[in-house]
Amino acid sequence: MDENLSTVFKALGHPIRRQILDILKQSPRTTGELDEYFPEVTRYAVMKHLKILEEGNLVVIRREGKYKRNFLNAVPLQEMYNRWVGKYMQSTAGSLLNLRSVVDQKGGNIKMSEFRIEQEIYMEAPREEVFKALTENVEYWWEFRIAPKGVTSHFTFDPVPGGQFIEKWGEKEGAIWGNVYYVNAPEEIRLFGHLGMQGAVDSAYTYRLLEKDGGTLLQLSHTASGVIQEQWEQEHSNGWEYLLGTLLKNYVEKK
* DSSP for 17-33, written as a single string: HHHHHHHHHHS-EEHHH
Between residues 133 and 109, which one has the greater pLDDT? Answer: 133
When pLDDT is averaged across residues 126-133 and rounded to a whole number, the result is: 97
Per-residue pLDDT at 87? 53
Does 113 score more than 90 pLDDT?
no
Does 108 score more than 70 pLDDT?
no
Does 28 score more than 80 pLDDT?
yes
Per-residue pLDDT at 34? 94
Paired residues of 205 in beta bridges:
191, 222
Q: How confident is the model at residue 110 (pLDDT cuts 50, 70, 90)?
A: low
Distance of CA 188 to the CA centre of its chain: 20
**Domains, the chain, ranges and CATH?**
2-77 (1.10.10.10), 89-253 (3.30.530.20)
Does 95 score more than 80 pLDDT?
no
Does 75 score more than 90 pLDDT?
no
Model-wide pTM > 0.85: no
Q: Under 8 Å CB-to-CB from 6, ≥6 apart: which residues?
A: none
Residues 14/49, Cβ–Cβ less than 8 Å: yes
Q: Is 26 exposed, middle or buried (0-12, 13-18, 19+ CB in 10 A)?
A: exposed
Distance of CA 111 to the CA centre of its chain: 22
Q: SS3 sequence, 206-249?
A: EEEEEEECCEEEEEEEEEEEECCCCCHHHHHHHHHHHHHHHHHH
pLDDT digit string (tens) for 164-180?
999 999 888 999 999 99
Per-residue pLDDT at 164? 94
CA distances to 35, 68, 70 from 23, rounded to whole Å, are: 11, 16, 10
Per-residue pLDDT at 79? 78
Q: Which amino acid is at 153?
A: S
Does 148 score more than 70 pLDDT?
yes
pLDDT digit string (tens) for 201-220?
789 999 999 999 999 999 99
When pLDDT is averaged across residues 222-227 and rounded to a whole number, the result is: 87
Angle, CA 254 vertex, CA 253 and CA 255 arms, to 5°: 95
Does 109 score more than 60 pLDDT?
no
